[in-house]
Amino acid sequence: MEKIRLNDRTFKVMIPAAEIDKAVECVAQKLNNDYADAQRPPIFVGVLCGAFVFLSDLVRKVNFTNEITFIQVSSYQGTQSTGNVQQKLGIDFDITDRDIILVEDIVETGHSIEHMIEYIQTLNPKSIEVCTLFYKPEKHLYKREIKYVAMEIGNEFIVGYGLDYDQVGRNLKDIYVVDNQ
């Protein structure tokens, strides 16, 4: 099994790129079914920096007209969420009465998602749904349903396909997990 070293840790492949691609295709089909008849193009709101790879692959698999923008929040330090969400970049155009698809790389506790949804609600959208590549249901602390989930995982710390470990590893095509051996 392929291993890599990032900063002070060794990681091994957990989910190969082909499996990720199939999961992205499945979630794209769900979005295609739900937004095929949208009156106005839905807006994908990608959460920087982690969701950019997922969003890039996702929008090339959907078949409805859409718009794309980005927001940025931060809550991580090393391998742990601090629980303190800081907004760094917001939406700078009118989204009133628009369908918003908030695209995340991973949903764990839900603190960041709740922060972003509260922010987006102040901009008067028609709807807000969350689409995430990875979801950790055991860690999720909120009642809000995450409607579009590509893959559920356990509580492992993962890196690759946009997810980082202290800002490195986003470029990896596979998902890696810490190798504890």
pLDDT at position 79 over 70: no
Look up the domain containing 21 and give its range.
15-31+41-178
Gap between the Cα atoms of 16 and 161, Å rounded: 10
pLDDT mean over 108-113:
88
Residue 5 lies in a domain: no
How many Å apart are CA 28 and CA 32, to the nearest integer?
Answer: 6
Instruction: Give the tens place of pLDDT for each residue, 29-38.
Output: 999 999 999 9
Looking at the structure of the chain, the number of domains it has is 1
Whether 87 maps to a domain, the answer reads yes
**In a domain? residue 130:** yes
Q: What is the pLDDT of residue 72?
A: 84
How far apart, in whole angstroms, are the C-alpha atoms of residue 102 and residue 35? Answer: 14
3-state secondary structure of 61: coil
Average pLDDT over residues 77-105: 75
| In a domain? residue 118 | yes
pLDDT band for position 91 (50/70/90)? confident
Instruction: Name the pTM for this structure.
Output: 0.89
Catalytic site includes residue 67: no
Banded pLDDT at 103 (limits 50, 70, 90): very high
Quick check: helix, strand or coil at residue 107? strand
Which CATH number is 64's domain given?
A: 3.40.50.2020
**Given 108, 118, 145, 156, which residue is catalytic?**
108
